[in-house]
C-alpha cells in the first residue's frame, strides 16, 4: 500500500476471482463459464464496418442493445440498463440505492462481490444466515427496511427460491428495494423479470457471462421500472457513460437475438448437470439440488481442499472456498459431457486412493 492511498480504502479487501492459471491446459470447471462457444451470429456481428468505426465513441445510450434485450423480455428500452458485466450493474445498484452511509442485506453464504461493493461504497452490510440446509428463508428478511440483494439461484450453493417466494419477498415491504441477481437463472427457468412490470421495488439483474457464453465480452443488464433505470443511468453518466464499447454493443445484440442457439446450449448443460448429480451421489457425495450451471458437493471421506488439489494435479480446476460453513464443499462447473465424464472418472480414482 502506498502512503497516498486514501484512508477510506486502507482496509478494503478486494474480490478474489477464480484462478485462471496459464502453466498448462486445464479443464476449467472453476468459474462457471459455458463450455460452448458463443452463437455464430456474434462472430458475424463483429465485422469490418464495426472495426473501422472504432475511431468513434460508442453510443452512450446503448440503444441497440437495450432495445434487443427489451424485446426478449417484453418490456421497453427504458426498462433496461446495461453494464460492463453484471458486476458493473451490481456496483451501480449498490452505489445508487445504498451508497455512503446506507445499508444492504444479503445471505451470509453468497456471491463474494456483495461485501466488497458494500465496503467500497461505505455501505453497512448485514449478512443474514442461510438455513442449516443452505436455503434462503424469506422470513428472515421481513424486518429489513434496507435494500436486499439475493442471488437466485444462489452462488455457490445453486439452490433457488421459487417465483412465489420471490414475489412474497417483494411484497413484504413495497417501500423496500429487492435486487435479484439472476446470473444463473437461465438454468433455473424461474426469472422474476416479468414481475418488474408489476412491482416498482424490484431490480432483476442478468449476465451474458454464463448461459450466453460471453464471459470475455463483459456484459450484464438490469430489468426494472423506468425510474429505477433512470437512477442507474444517472450513476453511469456520472462515472463512465462509455462502459459498453462498440464491439460489445454489436456482439451482445446479436447474441440476445439468437435464442434458439442458446436454448439448445442451456438444455445440454441442464442434462449434464442432472447426470453428474446422480453420478456424484452414487459415489457417496452430498449434492445440493442445484438449479444453476454448477454443482456444490461434499464427501464424508474426502476433504474438499484435498479434492480440489488432487483434481488440479490431474489438470482439472474446480472451486474451493475454504470459508466457514462451506469448507467441506467444492463447486464444480457443469461443462460438456466429455468434461463431466473426465471429472467424475478422476474423482473415482481419487476416492480409491
Note if the bond before 58 is cis, omega within 30 degrees. no
Binding test (CB under 6 A) with ligand PLP, winner from 36, 111, 134, 261: 111
The owner of cell 442445484 is 290
Taking CA atoms, 338 is separated from 35, 84, 157, 320, in Å, by: 10, 32, 24, 22
CB nearer ligand PLP, residue 299 or residue 319: 319
Cα 346 to Cα 344: distance, rounded to the nearest angstrom: 5
Report, in Å, the least distance between residue 156 CB and ligand PLP: 8
CB nearer ligand PLP, residue 114 or residue 261: 114
> Taking contact as CB under 6 A, which single stretch among the options 22-30, 66-74, 81-89, 241-249 is the one that binds ligand PLP?
81-89
Report, in Å, the least distance between residue 117 CB and ligand PLP: 11
Smallest CA-to-CA distance from 182 within 156, 162, 212, 152 is with 152
The owner of cell 425510474 is 227
> Are β-strands 80-83 and 220-223 bridged in parallel, bridged antiparallel, or unpaired?
antiparallel
Report, in Å, the least distance between residue 149 CB and ligand PLP: 10
Residue of minimal Cβ distance to ligand PLP? 85
CB nearer ligand PLP, residue 207 or residue 298: 207
Report, in Å, the least distance between residue 208 CB and ligand PLP: 7
Whether residue 229 contacts residue 81, with contact meaning beta carbons closer than 8 Å, is answered with yes
Smallest CA-to-CA distance from 156 within 350, 330, 352 is with 330
Contacts to ligand PLP from residues 290-319, by CB under 6 A: none
> Taking contact as CB under 6 A, which single stretch among the options 47-55, 85-93, 319-327, 332-340 is the one that binds ligand PLP?
85-93
Whether residue 177 contacts residue 316, with contact meaning beta carbons closer than 8 Å, is answered with no
CB nearer ligand PLP, residue 245 or residue 341: 245
Report, in Å, the least distance between residue 111 CB and ligand PLP: 4
151 binding ligand PLP? (CB under 6 A)? yes
181 binding ligand PLP? (CB under 6 A)? yes
CB nearer ligand PLP, residue 30 or residue 209: 209
Radius of gyration of the chain measured on its C-alpha atoms: 20
Whether residue 85 contacts residue 209, with contact meaning beta carbons closer than 8 Å, is answered with yes
183 binding ligand PLP? (CB under 6 A)? yes
What is residue 299's DSSP assignment?
Answer: B
Cα 131 to Cα 74: distance, rounded to the nearest angstrom: 35
CA-CA-CA-CA dihedral for 128, 130, 132, 137, to nearest 10 = 100
CB nearer ligand PLP, residue 99 or residue 153: 153
> Taking contact as CB under 6 A, which single stretch among the options 13-21, 69-77, 79-87, 239-247 is the one that binds ligand PLP?
79-87
Element spanning 28, H or E: strand 27-28
Smallest CA-to-CA distance from 170 within 194, 144, 201, 146 is with 201
Report, in Å, the least distance between residue 153 CB and ligand PLP: 8
Cα 220 to Cα 229: distance, rounded to the nearest angstrom: 14
CB nearer ligand PLP, residue 35 or residue 220: 220
CB nearer ligand PLP, residue 180 or residue 254: 180
| Interface map 196-235 toward ligand PLP (x if CB under 6 A) | -----------x-x-----x----x---------------
108 exposure class (CB count in 10 Å sphere: 0-12, 13-18, 19+): middle
Binding test (CB under 6 A) with ligand PLP, winner from 87, 186, 233, 346: 87
Contacts to ligand PLP from residues 2-41, by CB under 6 A: 32
Binding test (CB under 6 A) with ligand PLP, winner from 34, 79, 86, 339: 86
Binding site for ligand PLP (CB under 6 A): 32, 85-87, 111, 151, 155, 181, 183, 207, 209, 215, 220
Amino acid at each position: 500500500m502506498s502512503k497516498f492511498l486514501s484512508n477510506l480504502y486502507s482496509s478494503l479487501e478486494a474480490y478474489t476471482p477464480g484462478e485462471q492459471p496459464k502453466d498448462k491446459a486445464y479443464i476449467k470447471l472453476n468459474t462457471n463459464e459455458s463450455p460452448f462457444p458463443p452463437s455464430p451470429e456474434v462472430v458475424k456481428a463483429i465485422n469490418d464496418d464495426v472495426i473501422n468505426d472504432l475511431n468513434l465513441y460508442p453510443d452512450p445510450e446503448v440503444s441497440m442493445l437495450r432495445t434487443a434485450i427489451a424485446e426478449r423480455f417484453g418490456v421497453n428500452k427504458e426498462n433496461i440498463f446495461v453494464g460492463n458485466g453484471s458486476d458493473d450493474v451490481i456496483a451501480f445498484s449498490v452505489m445508487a440505492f445504498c451508497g455512503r452511509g446506507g445499508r444492504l442485506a444479503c445471505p451470509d453464504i453468497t456471491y463474494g462481490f456483495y461485501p466488497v461493493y458494500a465496503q467500497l461504497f461505505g455501505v453497512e452490510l448485514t449478512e443474514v444466515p442461510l438455513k442449516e440446509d443452505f436455503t434462503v428463508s424469506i422470513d428472515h428478511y421481513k424486518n429489513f427496511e434496507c435494500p436486499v440483494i439475493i442471488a437466485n439461484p444462489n452462488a455457490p450453493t445453486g439452490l433457488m427460491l421459487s417465483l412465489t417466494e420471490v414475489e412474497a419477498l417483494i411484497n413484504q415491504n413495497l417501500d423496500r428495494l429487492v435486487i435479484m441477481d439472476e446470473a444463473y437463472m437461465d438454468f433455473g427457468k424461474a426469472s422474476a423479470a416479468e414481475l418488474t412490470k408489476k412491482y416498482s421495488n424490484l431490480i432483476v439483474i442478468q449476465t451474458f457471462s454464463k448461459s450466453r457464453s460471453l464471459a470475455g465480452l463483459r456484459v450484464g443488464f438490469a430489468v426494472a421500472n423506468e425510474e429505477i433505470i433512470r437512477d442507474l443511468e444517472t450513476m453511469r453518466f456520472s462515472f463512465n457513460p462509455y462502459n459498453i464499447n462498440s464491439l460489445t454493443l454489436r456482439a451482445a445484440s446479436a447474441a440476445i437475438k439468437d435464442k434458439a442457439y442458446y436454448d439448445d446450449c442451456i438444455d445440454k448443460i441442464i442434462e449434464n448437470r442432472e447426470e453428474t448429480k446422480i453420478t456424484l451421489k452414487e459415489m457417496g457425495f452430498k449434492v445440493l439440488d442445484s438449479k444453476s450451471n454448477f454443482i456444490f458437493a461434499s464427501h464424508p471421506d474426502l476433504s474438499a481442499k484435498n479434492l480440489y488439489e488432487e483434481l488440479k494435479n490431474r489438470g482439472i480446476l474446480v472451486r474451493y472456498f475454504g470459508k466457514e460453513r462451506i469448507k467441506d464443499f467444492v463447486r464444480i462447473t457443469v461443462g460438456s459431457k466429455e468434461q463431466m465424464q473426465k471429472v467424475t472418472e478422476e474423482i473415482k480414482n481419487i476416492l480409491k486412493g
